[in-house]
């Protein structure tokens, strides 16, 4: 769907933004681009639909080289790619209906066809009742629903989401993410999300690219990244926890195969040793529960515990 090869982008020769990126996004997946602010995520996203230019390498979207497109070609490409924004970017003087209809008017869709499409979209995002409402009277979540409906108006094959839930409260974030996942599954639209929220990655992404300073730090399935986080992602995965002084801290990860089993209690019973749980997190990941626990093992029990974990093929890591 989107193939990026050796992408280089800089605002000035001395200020590179994206360095040597190389990855591909497959049709139908939900792909995350993660990183701290200033990592180049949003810039990368805008290279896909030509809102940003790039200096080196290639970005191939649906078989088209973005760099080589003339203005008509770019227009056609953008018809196939919807985009939603952090601050919704809706037109304040148009109501809900008119905002959703706007891309259709831009593309000169006949009135009756446009009307049918808008009503369909409002139904999809659950705003049929609010179609006459002015944008300023909507909540943040409703505004983003309008944004999603507008982005889908032209039947795009790809939906680009730029920090789409960053301005929303946690509960609204969840409903918007569920809507996006639903759109991905029901309509088969490829979704690319740019985010700094781990919540978003866990809930909807299949694979993620982690960016830091414009470089690829990690690329892979969300589950793999959670189970064995590379250095950069560790900070994301591990939230604050208190270390118990003395002993050794071990992080135990729970992939989908064993997360439901009482690993900790079984191990304690089998080995006859005690250990304290000093931190951890269990989260819903797409349809599963996924997470980690950090246990503190006394030094004399360490070998036994490590042997046990090796034997049972658990995912673990001794923390420094």
> Which residues are at the interface with another protein (CB under 8 A)?
49, 51, 71, 74-76, 78-79, 81-83, 85, 87, 89-94, 102-103, 105-107, 150-151, 153-154, 160
Residue 76 has a CB neighbour count (10 Å cut-off) of 12
Q: How far is the CB of 304 from another protein (least distance, A)?
A: 58
Q: Which is nearer to another protein, 94 or 286 (CB)?
A: 94
- In terms of phi and psi (left: phi > 0; alpha: psi -120 to 50; beta: otherwise), the region of 256 is alpha
Cβ proximity to another protein, 88 vs 292, nearer residue: 88
Rg of the chain taking only CA atoms, in angstroms: 23
Least Å distance, CB 151 to another protein, is: 7
Q: Which two tokens stand for residue 19?
A: 């360095």
User: Which residue blocks in 210-291 are alpha helix, DSSP H?
Assistant: 222-227, 231-237, 263-271
In the complex, the smallest distance separating the C-beta of residue 79 from another protein, rounded to whole angstroms, is 5
Tell me if 39 sits within 8 A of 62, measured CB to CB.
no
Minimum distance between the CB of residue 78 and another protein, rounded to whole angstroms? Answer: 4
Q: Which is nearer to another protein, 73 or 213 (CB)?
A: 73
E runs forming strands in 45-142: 56-61, 64-65, 81-84
Minimum CB separation of residue 271 from another protein in Å reads 57
* Nearest distance from C-beta of residue 51 to another protein, angstroms: 6
Q: Is 239 left (phi over 0), alpha (psi -120 to 50) or beta?
A: beta
Query: Are 4 and 23 in contact, with CB atoms under 8 Å apart?
Result: yes
Query: Judged by CB, which is closer to another protein: 130, or 150?
Result: 150
Residue 92 or 265 with smaller CB distance to another protein: 92
**What's the helix, strand, coil split of the chain in %, to 5?**
40, 30, 30
Q: Which is nearer to another protein, 150 or 251 (CB)?
A: 150
């Amino acid at each position: 769907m989107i193939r990026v090869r050796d992408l280089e982008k800089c605002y000035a020769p001395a200020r590179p933004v994206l360095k040597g990126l190389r990855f591909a996004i497959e049709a139908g997946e939900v792909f995350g681009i993660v990183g701290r602010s200033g990592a180049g995520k949003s810039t990368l996203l805008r290279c896909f639909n030509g809102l940003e230019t790039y200096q080196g390498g290639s970005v191939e979207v649906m078989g088209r080289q973005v760099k080589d497109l003339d203005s008509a070609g770019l227009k056609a490409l953008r018809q196939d790619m919807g985009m939603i924004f952090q601050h919704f970017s809706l037109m304040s003087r148009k109501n809900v209906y008119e905002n959703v209809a706007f891309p259709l008017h831009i593309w000169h869709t006949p009135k009756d066809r446009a009307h049918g499409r808008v009503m369909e979209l409002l139904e999809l995002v659950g705003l049929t009742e609010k179609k006459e409402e002015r944008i300023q009277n909507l909540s943040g979540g409703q505004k983003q629903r309008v944004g999603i409906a507008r982005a889908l108006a032209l039947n795009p094959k790809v939906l680009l989401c730029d920090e789409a839930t960053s301005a929303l409260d946690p509960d609204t974030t969840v409903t918007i993410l569920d809507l996006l996942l639903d759109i991905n599954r029901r309509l088969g639209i490829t979704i690319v999300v740019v985010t700094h929220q781990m919540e978003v990655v866990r809930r909807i992404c299949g694979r993620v690219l982690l960016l830091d300073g414009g470089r690829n730090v990690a690329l892979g399935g969300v589950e793999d990244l959670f189970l064995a986080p590379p250095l950069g992602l560790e900070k994301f995965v591990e939230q604050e926890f208190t270390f118990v002084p003395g002993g050794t801290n071990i992080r135990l990860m729970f992939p989908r195969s064993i997360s439901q089993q009482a690993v900790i209690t079984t191990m304690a019973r089998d080995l006859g040793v005690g250990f304290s749980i000093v931190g951890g997190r269990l989260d819903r990941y797409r349809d599963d529960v996924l997470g980690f626990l950090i246990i503190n093992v006394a030094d004399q029990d360490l070998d036994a515990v490590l042997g046990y974990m090796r034997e049972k093929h658990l995912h673990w890591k001794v923390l420094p």
